[in-house]
Structure 1
Amino acid sequence: MGYFYVLLTVLLTVYGQIVIKWQVVQAGALPDGLERIRFLALLLVNPWVASGFLAAILAGLSWMIAMTKLELSHAYPFVSLSFALVLFFSWLVLHEPLTWPKVLGIGFIMCGVIVSSQG
């Protein structure tokens, strides 16, 4: 059951990152001066952004539950899966470039997760 909470942590974290980036891009460029405060305040009350922050809080709670069931040194490498998922969803949802160096880097991370999960 501990792995369920690790996976939930990863998925909530990825959701939060993607949805916040999506909404920040939709809002436009960060203005100068005092208008910057209004811009950020409007983002904070945006329901999508709020859901991203809520996801981060829920990810933290899920991680605490996972820590009651698994050793940190065993569970933490699985959090690296968020790098691969963020890369994939950044490409799919945000249309960010998916380059060979990024894919290769994620491949190395996945190899590290596999190796570290063996012991």
Structure 2
Amino acid sequence: MGYLYIFGTIFFTVYGQLILKWRINDFGALPDGVLEKALFLFNLLLDPWIFSGFASAFLASFFWMAAMTKFDVSHAYPIIVGGLAILTSVFAVIFLKESVSFLKVMGILFIVSGVYFLSKGS
């Protein structure tokens, strides 16, 4: 059951990040003026999808707290970081049409290998 909590943390975090990026892309660039920035950010908060991204982050925190009752943080956190890096990158390419480069792929592979070695040390 403990790994379900880790998966929930990853799932809800990835969802939130992708939704926020998608909607923020649709709103455009952050304006230069202080008042314009404040209005821009306020309008973002009124978007239901943005709200769902924040709600998703809130849910992820509950899954994280549950995971902390089952695992040492030194075991769970690397798994979450690796899962976030892989899934966010893959889904960003698929849904947000972000680019893939050799260096990005190598970076993901280094993260995965690091997660593997960290988990072996537990």
Asked if Structure 1 and Structure 2 have the same fold, meaning a TM-score greater than 0.5 normalized by the shorter chain, the answer is yes
TM-score (structure 2 length as normaliser): 0.92
Is the counterpart of residue 85 in structure 1 residue 84 in structure 2? Answer: no
Match for residue 59 of structure 1? Answer: 60
Displacement of 1:20 in angstroms is 0.2
Displacement of 1:32 in angstroms is 2.7
Alignment of 1:93-112 (within 5 A): 93-112=95-114
Q: 2:110, 2:29 → 1: CA distance?
A: 34
Match for residue 21 of structure 2? Answer: 21
Displacement of 1:31 in angstroms is 1.8
Q: 2:75, 2:55 → 1: CA distance?
A: 26
RMSD: 1.0
Structure 1 residue identity aligned to 2:117: V
Q: Identity, % of aligned pairs?
A: 47
In structure 1, stretches of 5+ residues that fail to align are none
The CA deviation string for residues 11-62 of structure 1, in whole angstroms up to 9 with x for no partner, is 1111111100100000012123212211111101101100101111111111
In structure 2, stretches of 5+ residues that fail to align are none
Match for residue 119 of structure 2? Answer: 117
The CA deviation string for residues 62-100 of structure 1, in whole angstroms up to 9 with x for no partner, is 100110111111111111210111111111111111111
